[in-house]
Structure 1
Amino acid sequence: MAEENAFLKRLKNGGNLVVAEGYIFEFERKGYLQAGTFVPEVIIEHPELVRHMYEEFVHAGSEVVLAFTYYAHREKLRLIGRENDLDAMNRSALQMAREVADKHGCLMAGNISNTTAYVTDDPESHKKVEEIFKEQIEIAVEYNADYIVGETFGHFGEAMLALESIKKYGKGLPAVVTISAPATETLIDGVTLVDACKRLEDAGAAVVGLNCGRGPETMIPAIREIKKVCKGPVAALPVTYRTTPEEPTFFSLTVPGTKNRAFPLELCTCLCSRKQIADFAAQCRDLGVEYVGLCCGNSANMTRIVAETYGRSPPASRYAPAMEKHFIFGEKAKFKDAYTKDMRAHIGGDFD
């Protein structure tokens, strides 16, 4: 009898997984990736940093090492003249992901994404996109991925093509397929979010749901509706920015106090607080979301919050905040009045 797939086994009987994403934005912040093209050249130029980020997210509580092959596809590489690096880039990212996952007893996932080449009524573009998916899927299979993620699709047709490609070229590996929710409830090609997820599930996706696009506040209502119609595991991986009903995606956010668009260089002005991330994770937990994490804007401390909210105690929990030990904001009896009393008065604000 064939051994049960490790990923599917984890999700059986109401099981759940904490999954860290968001490599693109993290490396851009660190100065190793260009905003605009968003091509993960860092995989080739500084592989040690990619390995370290895998380790960081596992330390923080991610139970999956998602191979950093997002936008490492032919169409994106063509923009910067690095198509010849596709094979090496994907192999490096996948090999490191497999090694880190094995070291820590985690799952490892391959990753395909929106191609920026898909056009709804253009069959030739569909053939091109399938070839893009095929290249990356076949390499993920070689490196023994436990499953493959297809994500951030704005077209239902491209999401379905990703699922079909995983089924066709993935040697039986399960597929997680997630949609990037737009400002409305309808994708570019006219399919609603809820219907898209239901149709993807019916077509054989092991997990369906949403990633990227929306932040916690505007993703939760859609996840609630998806949970009503989908029978299997549902995914929720928002960006970590304070989207609102008025500005529902991080593309539509404006810098507070201005009318200037925040995406992508000023998104730091719209970052969620730690409490907002904890509240999101708690809502997902209460809704029974089985595949939970964070996308663009994610960092290790935020992944730790999600993991802890889901009942995990990752190594990073050792360093969770303990403000009662702070000389200004801590327990007054443990510090001199010159700090807990006089210092508070000096810096301003009512802390009691």
Structure 2
Amino acid sequence: MTAAAPQDALNRLLAENDWLMADGATGTTLFNMGLTSGEAPELWNVEHPDRIRALYQGAVDAGSDIFLTNSFGGTAARLKLHDAQNRVGELNRIAAEIGREVADKAGRVVVVAGSVGPTGEIMQPMGPLTFEGAVELFHEQAEALKAGGADVLWVETISSPDEYKAAARAAELADMPWCGTMSFDTAGRTMMGVTSADLAALVETLPNPPIGFGANCGVGASDLLRTILGFAASGTERPIIAKGNAGIPKFVHGHIHYDGTPPLMADYAVLARDCGARIIGGCCGTTTEHLAAMREALETRPTGKVRPTLDEIAAKLGAFSSASDGTGGATGRQRVRRGRRRG
């Protein structure tokens, strides 16, 4: 099968489908394959390419239309922690090359999304990283992902508006389409205080706006969907992305375990679609079993005629972690989880 041109793969799928399913958790899957704490996942692109191929293939087999490359920590700033800052080009290119190989054998159009995580540095004036420096870090990574065959850059887990803008500029310099999500984990805000309304407004001010934007990771699925409702309330016409965690993390026998079951994530996926998300996936704790349940639910359950209420979200997915989403608008009261307790 001939793959769609990198510049149009995602837009083509969005034009043909009401919703798309993204992938699940990279970190969780790799830890289950033997990655140890403190080890750089990106080094596995070279050391264990068979495992990275299996990571991608698992998402495709579970029904994902989009999967992210194993390059979340692929900037020089992050790789420096592992004395690999001079391997940005190699590690990101190979991450995308393996993805391209898997996608091109899928028998259908599957988007290879080049994962770009935060630099890990604090930007000026609070920290030492300049805007130009952030652009340079992201641009180096973007060019490598492009060289490896990524269809789109996937900027994720960002908390700072300036870092989001720097990633947008890097995508522009690399002449790559991009999507960008932030992590809303502090009473409906990012670590730097950004709300859903703030991000919806921000993307419209960018010279190079993303194809789609949204939220990933954060606290739990309920909180993430409240943020998705915030994006939808802004009236945006851009595709909204929802990539929520599979429940709440707990320590079990010395390891982090997420308590979200496949049926719960199936409910989450349908609620995310009904909240207004068009690209729906999972983040931490989301395995191929979760993805398969999500795909089946999205394909078989009818689309809701109205947006879910906060009460409906809490009843199906559990209580919100805070009383407000940070915007001063929609709120959710604390509720007792049915059969589940926050760890």
By the TM > 0.5 criterion, same fold? yes
Q: What is residue 8 of structure 1 aligned with on the other side?
A: 11
- Cα deviation code 1:165-210 (max 9, x no counterpart): 11222x1x32110001122233344432321133114421110100
Alignment partner of 1:117: what SS? coil
Superposed displacement of residue 41, structure 1: 2.2
Per-residue displacement from partner, 1:43-80 (whole Å, max 9, x unpaired)?
12111110111111100111123221111221121112
State the Cα deviation string for residues 123-176 of structure 1 (Å, max 9, x = none). 74333222210111111222332211111001122112212211222x1x3211
Instruction: Name 2:165's counterpart in structure 1.
Output: 160
Matched residue, 2:112: 108
Partners of 2:163 and 2:141 in 1: CA distance? 15
Contact 1:201–1:232 under 8 Å retained in 2? no
Question: Do residues 207 (structure 1) and 195 (structure 2) align?
Answer: no
Structure 1 residues 181 and 79, CA, compared in 2 at 3 Å: closer, same or farther?
same
Equivalent residues of 2:93, 2:146 under 8 A apart: no
Q: Is the 8 A contact 1:177 1:207 kept in 2?
A: yes
The whole-number CA distance in structure 2 between the counterparts of 1:90 and 1:223 is 30
Amino acid at match of 2:51: L
* 1:98-247 matched pairs, under 5 angstroms: 98-104=100-106, 105=108, 106-121=110-125, 122=127, 124-169=129-174, 171=175, 173-203=176-206, 204-229=209-234, 230-242=236-248
The one of 95, 115, 119 aligned to 1:93? 95
Partner SS, residue 310 of structure 1: helix
1:263, distance to aligned residue in structure 2 (A):
11
Q: Contact between 2:97 and 2:149, CA under 8 Å: does it hold in 1? A: no
Partner of 1:343: none
Instruction: Check 1:90–1:265 CA distance in 2 against 1; reply closer, same or farther (3 A cut).
Output: farther
**Quick one: which amino acid aligns to residue 151 of structure 1?**
E
Match of 1:69 in 2: 71
Structure (1 or 2) with the larger CA radius of gyration: 1
Q: Using a 3 Å threshold, how does the CA distance of structure 1 residues 160 and 286 change in structure 2: closer, same or farther?
A: same
Closer, same or farther: CA 14–43 of 1 in aligned 2, 3 Å: closer
Corresponding residue of 1:27: 30
Matched length: 290
Contact map agreement 2:41 2:70 (CA 8 A) in 1: no
Instruction: Name the residue aligned to 2:324.
Output: none
Q: Bigger CA drift: 64-73 or 9-18?
A: 9-18
Kept in 2, the 8 Å contact 1:20–1:62? The answer is yes
Q: In 2, Cα distance between the equivalents of 1:205 and 1:193?
A: 15
Q: Which runs of 5+ in 2 are unaligned?
A: 301-343
1:296 correspondence with 2:284: yes
Please state how far the C-alpha of 1:237 moved relative to its aligned partner. Answer: 0.1
Q: Is the 1:39–1:72 Cα contact (8 Å) retained in structure 2?
A: no
Looking at structure 2, the residues matched to 179 and 233 of structure 1 have their Cα atoms a distance apart, in angstroms, of 15
Give the distance between the partners of 1:3 and 1:180, measured in 2 at CA: 26
In the TM superposition, what are the counterparts of 1:75-86 in structure 2 within 5 Å?
75-86=77-88
Q: Percent identity?
A: 24
Measured in 2, the distance between the counterparts of 1:123 and 1:200 equals 25
Inter-CA distance 21–75: structure 2 relative to 1 (3 Å threshold):
farther
1:14 Cα shift? 5.9
The answer to whether the 8 A contact 1:156-1:187 is kept is no
Evaluate the alpha carbon distance shift between residue 91 and residue 289 of structure 1 in structure 2; reply closer, same or farther with a 3 A threshold: same
Q: Report the secondary structure of 2:156's partner residue.
A: strand
TM-score (norm. length: structure 2): 0.78
Give the residue type in structure 2 aligned to 1:108: V
Deviation sequence 1:188-247 (CA, Å, 0-9, x none): 4443232113311442111010011222122111111111112211000011123xxxxx
* Shift in CA distance, 181/264, structure 1 to aligned 2, threshold 3 Å: farther
Distance in 2 separating the partners of 1:109 and 1:222: 23
Q: Distance in 2 between matches of 1:231 and 1:265?
A: 44
Task: Quickly say closer, same or farther: Cα 1:124–1:70, change in 2 above 3 A.
Answer: closer
- Alpha-carbon contact 1:174-1:206 (below 8 Å) kept: yes
Maintained 8 Å contact 1:37/1:79: no
Distance of 1:51 and 1:3 partners within structure 2: 20
For the 8 Å contact 1:201–1:208, the answer to whether it is kept is no
1: distance between equivalents of 2:205 and 2:237? 10
RMSD over aligned CA atoms reads 2.4
SS at match of 1:240: coil
CA separation of 1:73 and 1:103: change in aligned 2, threshold 3 A: same
Q: Counterpart amino acid of 1:30?
A: M
Q: Which runs of 5+ in 1 are unaligned?
A: 243-249, 256-261, 313-352
Report the secondary structure of 1:209's partner residue. Answer: strand
Question: Which structure: greater helix fraction?
Answer: 1
Q: Which residue of 2 aligns with 1:326?
A: none
Tell me, yes or no, if structure 1 residue 267 matches structure 2 residue 271: no
Give 3-state SS (helix, strand or coil) of 2:153's partner: strand
